[in-house]
Chain A
Amino acid sequence: MAGNRFVLEIKNLSKAYDDKEVLNIEQLSFRQGKIYGIIGPSGAGKSTFLRLANLLEAPTGGVVNIHGKRAFPNGADAFRLQREMTLVFQKPLLFKASVKDNVAYGLKARGYPREEIQKRVKALLQKMGLNQLAERRADTLSGGEGQRVALARAVAFEPSLLLLDEPTANLDPSNVELIEELILDLNRSAGITIIIVTHNVFQAERIAHQVLFFFEGQVVEVGETEQIFQEPRDPRTKAFIEGKMIY
C-alpha cells in the first residue's frame, strides 16, 4: 500500500512555550501508507509534534504541509486539511453517549447520510470486537475497551493520516496486543498512514516501518525500523533503545 506521495511534510518546525523551545525540527516527510513510530524520552517533544501536525496548535515557526498543501493553523484552509487526519490522545475523551454514537461522531460531522453512518458504524464495531457494547455509555468502559472505541471513532471517516499518542499506555498486555493488531490491520486494509508515539521501543519495533528518535525537542535519528534497532547511528539512539538512557 505504501506510496511515494507525502502525506505530511515538516520544514523548520519549531514550538516554544514562554520562550522555552520544546521542539525544533529541520525537515521530516511521511509517506502514504506507512507506519511511523516516534520514540524518545519524556519531554522530547513527541506529543507536541503530534499536536502541531494535527493543527491543534500553531507552531512558533516553520511549515506543516498536508498532502502538499501548506497548512496554517486557524487559517481558512486548516479546517479542511484537519479533516484529512485525526489524533487519538493518550487518554482519549469519550463523549457521554453510547459507543455507537461516539463512533458515528466524525461521520455525522462530515454530513454522511444516516444509512451510510449506520452501515459503517456496524462494520467497525464488528471489526473492533465492540458490537456487544454498541449501546453502552462510552464513559463507563474499561481502559482497553475505551481505547478501541477511540480508535474506531478515529478511523470511521477513513482519514488518510492517523496520529496516535501512546495508544496503549496503561493497558494490560492482551489489550496492547489487540490494539497493535488493529493498528496493523488498519494500515494494511485501508492504507492509512499512521504515526504512533510510544514509550515502548519494542512496540515501535513490532509495528513501525520507520522509526524516529526524538530527544530534547529534536529529531536525532530517522531510519528503517531494522536499521534503527540493529545499527543505530547515534549513540543516544543506541542508549535509548538499549534502555541505558537515564531520563
Chain B
Amino acid sequence: MLQGIAEAFYLILTFDPKLWEIVLLSMTVSGLAVVLGALVGIPLGAYLGLKPERQTRLVSKLLYTLMGLPPVVAGLIIYLLLSRSGPLGVLELLYTPTAMIIAQFVLALPIIAGLTMIGIRSRGQEVQETARTLGAGRFLTAWTVVRESRIAIFGAVITGLGRVIAEVGAVMMVGGNIEGVTRVMTTAIVLETGRRNFELALGLGMVLLVLSFIINSLLYNFQGGGRNGGG
C-alpha cells in the first residue's frame, strides 16, 4: 500500500505523460460540460427564481428530481440517443469526448439551474424591486439580480463541477473508456484497479482528491471563509 502511494507520487511529480493525459482530458470534458451547464443553467435558474413560486412548482419538483439523477441513468439515456440505431446516431458521437460532455452536461444542468433558482429565490425579488425603484431596465435588473446572487451561483457551478468530475457511470457508458480518446480519471481508476495496477489508480485518485480540494477551497474562500454563506 505504502509502496503504491510512493509510486503514485512519483508518477505525479515526474509528470507521467499517461497520467497527465488522462487528467487533462478529465478536466476538459468536465470543464466544458460545466461551462455549458452554467450558460444554460444560470439564466434558467434566474428566470425560475424570479417567478412566483406557485407558477414554478412543477418545474421546481422536476429540477430537484433531476438534481439526484443517477449518472448511469443519464449515461443510458444519452447512450440510447447516440447509439447507431438511436435518433441521433447519424451524428456518430458515441464513444467520443463530445458524448461524454453531453452526458455530464445533462448531470450538471439541473444542479446549476436548481441551486441558482434557490439562491435567487432567497432575495431575488427584493433585489429586483430595488433595482426597479432606481430606474433599472430589464437587462440591468436581471444583471443586478445575478450579480447580487453571485455567491449562490458560484456555489451552484462549483457543486455542478464537483458532481461531474467525480462521476464514472455516465462517461463509462457513452465514452467507452478508450485509451487516449475517452479515458478519464474515474474510468481509468476503475480500469487500473481491475488490472491491479494500483500505483496509477492511486495517483489518479490523489489528483482527483487534490482537484476536489482546490474546488472546495475556492468555494469556501469565495463564500468568505464560512463567515458569509448567503446568496
Contact = CB atoms under 8 A, between A and B. Distances in A.
B137 A106 contact: no
A105 B134 contact: yes
Contacts of A202: none
Contact of B132 (A82, A95, A110): A82
A93 B135 contact: no
A93 B127 contact: yes
B136 interface: yes
B135 A106 contact: yes
Interface residues of B, number: 17
B135 A82 contact: yes
Contacts of B127: 93, 95
Contacts of A130: none
Q: Is the interface of B mostly helix, strand, loop or mixed?
A: helix
B21 interface: no
A93 B123 contact: yes
B130 A109 contact: no
B134 A154 contact: yes
Nearest to A153: B134
B144 A95 contact: yes
Contacts of B123: 93
B148 A96 contact: yes
A157 B127 CA distance: 19
Interface in B43-73: none
A3 B62 CA distance: 57
A34 to B, nearest CB: 21
B129 interface: yes
Contact of B126 (A82, A93, A153, A157): A93
A54 B134 CA distance: 11
Contacts of A79: 137
B135 A109 contact: yes
Nearest to A92: B130
B132 A56 contact: yes
B144 A157 contact: no
Contacts of A110: 135
Interface in B118-166: 123, 126-127, 129-137, 140, 144, 147-148, 150
A209 interface: no
Nearest to B133: A87
Contacts of B133: 54, 56, 82, 86-89, 154
A86 B126 contact: no
Interface string B62-86: 0000000000000000000000000
Of listed A86, A154, A157, residue having the most chain B CB within 10 A: A86
B126 A83 contact: no
A83 B137 CA distance: 10
A153 B135 CA distance: 11
A93 B134 contact: no
Nearest to A96: B148
Given A89-B130, A93-B126, A93-B130, A109 B148 contact: no
A182 B132 CA distance: 23
Contacts of B134: 86, 105-106, 109, 153-154, 157
Nearest to A150: B130
A157 B136 CA distance: 12
Contacts of A153: 134
Contacts of B137: 79, 109
B225 to A, nearest CB: 15
B130 A83 contact: no
A218 B136 CA distance: 32
Interface in A146-182: 153-154, 157
Contacts of A154: 133-134
A83 B135 contact: yes
B138 to A, nearest CB: 9
21 contacts: A54-B133, A56-B129, A56-B132, A79-B137, A83-B135, A86-B133, A86-B134, A87-B133, A89-B129, A89-B130, A95-B127, A95-B130, A95-B147, A95-B148, A96-B147, A96-B150, A109-B131, A109-B134, A110-B135, A154-B133, A157-B135
Given A56-B129, A95-B147, A96-B147, 13 more contacts: A54-B133, A83-B135, A89-B129, A95-B144, A95-B148, A96-B148, A109-B135, A109-B136, A109-B137, A109-B140, A110-B135, A154-B133, A157-B134
